[in-house]
Structure 1
Amino acid sequence: MPNLIAKLAAAALMGLALSAQAPAFAASSLSGAYLAAMQADFRDDYAVSAEYYDRALAEDPDNLALIQNALVARVALGDIPAARALADRLAVVQPENQVAALVRLAVALKSDDFATATTVLQASGEGINPLLAGLVSGWIEVGKDDFTAAQAKFDAMTGNEALAAYGQFHKALALAMAGDFVSAEAILAGGENGPLHLNRAALIAHAEVLAQIDREADAAALLNEALSTGMPDATLVALRDRLVAGEEVPFDEVTEARDGAAEAFLTLAEALNTEDTARVALIHARLAAYVSPGMVEADLLAADILESEGQFALATEALTEVPRDSPWFVVSEIHRANTQRIAGDAAGGIATLRALAASHTDQIEVQSALGDALRSDNQFAPAVAAYTAAIDLIDKPTAVHWVLYYTRGISNERAGNWNDAEADFREALVLRPDQPVVLNYLGYSLVEKGQDLDEALDMIQRAVKGQPDDGYITDSLGWVYYRLGRYQDAVAPMERAVELEPVDPVVNDHLGDVLWMVGRKREADFQWRRALSFGPGDGEDLDMDRVRKKLEVGLDQVLAEENG
């Protein structure tokens, strides 16, 4: 269904030009500001592009292309008040303009001006995505306190599977908001097709609805099932714990019509969050956060998009609005730390996570995130301590916890604690017996140490079966054959590994060794030279001096010298 939503969303965006229209200039002085704005636009530097578009508009205030480009930049910045003025100007001459319509619709919804929201929808024609238009039209009726009309709007969304499913989900939200929790639960339960858990919000809404009809145990079970399929989620854990403790859990997923409308904007943002439509997704995420300021999911998504665009300051800014007492605080701080690290401030990211770990000592995901950050910074011994703190919080390990043992195993191995590392890898395999990355890492490590080669071969064969298109796992298979002296068997997987990872220096070096051993020495020299051209690789994995020595005297002589 997500693909169907994305196609539905993209189909309605064909006429949406984002900073792509070149305006006709009335004077040469205008061109400098425009070109500067465009250059910033290409870099996704919305603050600079907005400034220069404003300068260009001061010279040519009626240029529609300039107005739209400035409008997009302002929405991307989250500056909706400034965007509103631009949208109003654009709508006068282009009432069907999609960006202007989205902004004006969001402004009307936020202020509960449902008459204007209706007018904007009608004037936009087919410019607004049908999923968004259908959902918002229903919430407009909710805002008018006409729940019967709202249900009819949601029920009318039957054009395809995605429209129907989201129409019913929002109908359930509206029913719950009106106090009809029994009917809302019947929709969310989903009947023969299973629960209507289209996204995380639907899961939370279902749990809260169950709590209103004295089914707290069922609500807790629902959340436990969701938590069992992934790493702990702070907000879901907090909700589950409140239910188990017998605390009163109100239905607050949607308390105003604008909250439901914001959820519709967020649905589109999530569906459009792809490389080709990331900026359109950012627009919808910013508008969702504007319509319902408490919707932290929208801020998190905006931060994710901005981070992918290299706009780290804006990404961090999008995460600063989350209060410390919010159940989303932990998630936002982990995200902020990751943004700091990606921006090149590894120390700052680790400091953020250390502070979070000190104040949230009982949360597995915090300790795990700290371990990940330390491991990425090659601080392996402290990473082991962080992962251990996370593991110590587990009452009884389940399949979902394999990754903690695996990442601690990597950290132990890199720190030189092989016995502890092997124990961690084997525990991960107890929890997830056929996990390819664990099988590969342990199998490859055993090969490198010359231990239990038959078992290592079996592990890596199982890993390749699980992920046949993974070049590094395929490389491991070829390498274990090599270490076992089965050189002819090694050729095919090593050649396949180079096909899958053509520029990896170690994989190319391995193929060179294999080719040498089967008598294809000229090809071996070629592969070693390729390895040197790509080396040394991440973490300086390739021993470039050793490769040069192989090119000089051959692999046989190198091995003879190494073996004494």
Structure 2
Amino acid sequence: MMKLYEEIGASKNYLSVFQKAEKEVGKKSDGLSFQLAVLELGKQNFKDSSQILQDLVNRYPENEKLAYLLGMIQEKNGQAEDALKTYLKFDEKSDMYVVMRVRAFDLHKRLGRNEEALKVAQEAIDAKSDQSVVFYSLASNLLSSEGKNPEAIALVDKGLIEEPGNVELLFLKAVFLEKSQKMDQSVATLKEVIRRDPKHAAALNYLGYMYAEKNINLPEAEGLIKRALEEKPDNGFYLDSLGWVYYQQKRYKEAIVVLEKAFQLTNSDPTISEHLGDAYYAAGDAGKALIAYKIVLLCDDQ
């Protein structure tokens, strides 16, 4: 049965939801209907699976897990509006409130309805559920993606009032400050994140790469990024940061070794391709540099 769930793209968390929902369906005939819905889902027959689950939800309107599964299948079946109604059906007293609101936020965003997504996030924040802080992160990232970094910072600051010890929100603030060209404030905030959590790989790498980009504090940058790589040794983007430090230090051969590995780990990321091209060119290998730059152009065309 686990193989079936894996084939339909269900994670272990989804499997757990399936099992709990099945236990909560009381009548034997309804249990069979539930299993039939799962089988139809396994055959990628989202329409029939959706209809069967809809009938079950109509009979068990308070079963949050059935509703959650129905919403996911409605998404796959192209029933976006129905899925949104399903996800937004339960209030903050529901055990599934946060996960359903996250799905609704993400669905609105994928549909290009950013204002609606932000409204869902704000409603969840106002509800003050146990995990509502996650919506500060979601909403601020969305605002930043729209170039509204001052608004993103203001929202994160509100989240930090609720959870002053949340280093992830503090890290986001540092990122948004950097995007707002407030470098000194960003550096100070990143250092505070690292002070609170010396193994915060993302903050270590971000600060190190900021230094490398500006070609300043390179020995410190190298140390920071190596600490990040101790936590996540196969992170291609962290390796790119280290390679760029080496490049700035004119250690071109070392830069090439690290950047080639980063290139492989990230499936030819264009920024890393450009860094690799620069390193090849600086090392005197114009042929390989040209190939790397062509990859950048191909990525830009897509």
TM-score (structure 2 length as normaliser): 0.77
Counterpart of 1:187 in structure 2 is none
Contact 1:300 1:332 in 2 (8 A): yes
- Is 1:506–2:264 an aligned residue pair? no
- Is 1:321–2:86 an aligned residue pair? no
* Counterpart selection for 1:6 from 2, 7, 14: 2
Structure 1 residues 377, 302: closer, same or farther in 2, change over 3 A?
A: farther
- Kindly state the Cα deviation for residue 441 of structure 1 after the two structures are TM-superposed: 1.7
Matches within 5 A, 1:157-196: none
Cα deviation code 1:93-142 (max 9, x no counterpart): xxxxxxxxxxxxxxxxxxxxxxxxxxxxxxxxxxxxxxxxxxxxxxxxxx
Specify the SS of the correspondent of 1:535. helix
Counterpart of 2:11 in structure 1 is none
- Is 1:342–2:124 an aligned residue pair? no
* Counterpart selection for 1:467 from 228, 232, 247: 232
Structure 1 residues 436, 330: closer, same or farther in 2, change over 3 A?
A: closer
- Is 1:404–2:172 an aligned residue pair? no
Identical-pair percentage: 23
- Is 1:533–2:298 an aligned residue pair? yes
1-structure distance, mates of 2:69, 2:22? 19
- Kindly state the Cα deviation for residue 261 of structure 1 after the two structures are TM-superposed: 10
- The code of the aligned residue for 1:297 comes to K
1-structure distance, mates of 2:28, 2:155? 40
- Kindly state the Cα deviation for residue 340 of structure 1 after the two structures are TM-superposed: 0.7
Structure 1 residues 310, 201: closer, same or farther in 2, change over 3 A?
A: closer
Of the structure 1 ranges 416-425 and 472-481, higher mean CA displacement relative to structure 2 is found in: 416-425
Structure 1 residues 297, 522: closer, same or farther in 2, change over 3 A?
A: same
Structure 1 residues 448, 343: closer, same or farther in 2, change over 3 A?
A: same
Counterpart of 2:146 in structure 1 is 377
Specify the SS of the correspondent of 1:390. helix
- Kindly state the Cα deviation for residue 512 of structure 1 after the two structures are TM-superposed: 0.6
Unpaired runs of at least 5, structure 1: 19-197, 206-252, 538-564
1-structure distance, mates of 2:36, 2:123? 35
Specify the SS of the correspondent of 1:413. helix
1-structure distance, mates of 2:16, 2:5? 20
- C-alpha root-mean-square deviation of aligned residues, in Å? 4.2
Contact 1:408 1:424 in 2 (8 A): yes
Contact 2:149 2:179 in 1 (8 A): yes
- The code of the aligned residue for 1:313 comes to E
Larger C-alpha radius of gyration, 1 or 2?
Answer: 1
Contact 1:258 1:292 in 2 (8 A): no
Counterpart of 1:418 in structure 2 is 183
Contact 1:488 1:518 in 2 (8 A): yes
- Kindly state the Cα deviation for residue 455 of structure 1 after the two structures are TM-superposed: 1.9
Structure 1 residues 496, 380: closer, same or farther in 2, change over 3 A?
A: same
Counterpart of 1:110 in structure 2 is none
1-structure distance, mates of 2:27, 2:219? 59
- Kindly state the Cα deviation for residue 373 of structure 1 after the two structures are TM-superposed: 2.5
2-structure distance, mates of 1:264, 1:295? 17
- The code of the aligned residue for 2:205 comes to N
2-structure distance, mates of 1:518, 1:281? 61
Contact 1:303 1:319 in 2 (8 A): yes
Structure 1 residues 285, 519: closer, same or farther in 2, change over 3 A?
A: farther
Equivalenced residue count is 293
1-structure distance, mates of 2:158, 2:49? 36
Structure 1 residues 307, 446: closer, same or farther in 2, change over 3 A?
A: farther
1-structure distance, mates of 2:140, 2:101? 15
2-structure distance, mates of 1:519, 1:532? 21
Of the structure 1 ranges 463-472 and 474-483, higher mean CA displacement relative to structure 2 is found in: 463-472
Counterpart of 2:281 in structure 1 is 516
